[in-house]
Structure 1
């Protein structure tokens, strides 16, 4: 993982961002699974989830968590999330860059 203070962040992505900013559908141009980020208002505190679509009909749901300022999901290992607000690019540490899909 990179640090926002050392200058090793080539995407200028932020680890601190509002989850409402990243809700929606995202697609990878690198062949990683499509994802959807949404708020489940039926859960306590309106928890946010990431839905991974690996194959047709095969979905995995993971809650988005935060630890020491880093947002992450645990899908058979921890993946951190960062977001570049200028270019609207979401990065998952294990899968790479994602671009928003327009509905």
Structure 2
């Protein structure tokens, strides 16, 4: 993973962002699975989840967690999240860049 202090972040993405900014559907132009980020208001504190669509009808849901200002999900390994607010690009360390899906 890149470090914001060393300047090796080519997208200008930040690891510190509001989860409400990334809720919605996201698509990869690189062939990675579609994702959806949503808030589960039925759970205590309304935690956020990321849903992966690998095949039609086959969904994986993972809670989005935070450790020392790094947001991540654990789907058969830890994937960190970063978000560029200027270009509205979400980046997953294992799958690359995601763009907001058109509704």
Output the TM-score relative to the length of structure 2: 0.99
Unaligned stretches of 5+ in structure 2? none
Q: How does 1:1-16 map to 2 (within 5 A)?
A: 1-16=1-16
Distance, in Å, in 1 between the alignment partners of 2:36 and 2:8 is 28
Distance, in Å, in 2 between the alignment partners of 1:56 and 1:2 is 33
Task: Please list the CA deviations of residues 35-87 of structure 1 after superposition, one character each: whole Å capped at 9, or x if unmatched.
Answer: 00000000000000000000001000000000011000000000000000000
Tell me how far 1:91 sits from its aligned partner.
Answer: 0.2
Q: After the TM superposition, which segments of 4 or more aligned residues of structure 1 sit over 2 Å from their partners?
A: none
- Count of aligned residue pairs for this structure pair: 103
Q: What is aligned with 2:83?
A: 83
* CA root-mean-square deviation: 0.4
Q: How does 1:29-68 map to 2 (within 5 A)?
A: 29-68=29-68
Unaligned stretches of 5+ in structure 1? none
Output the TM-score relative to the length of structure 1: 0.99
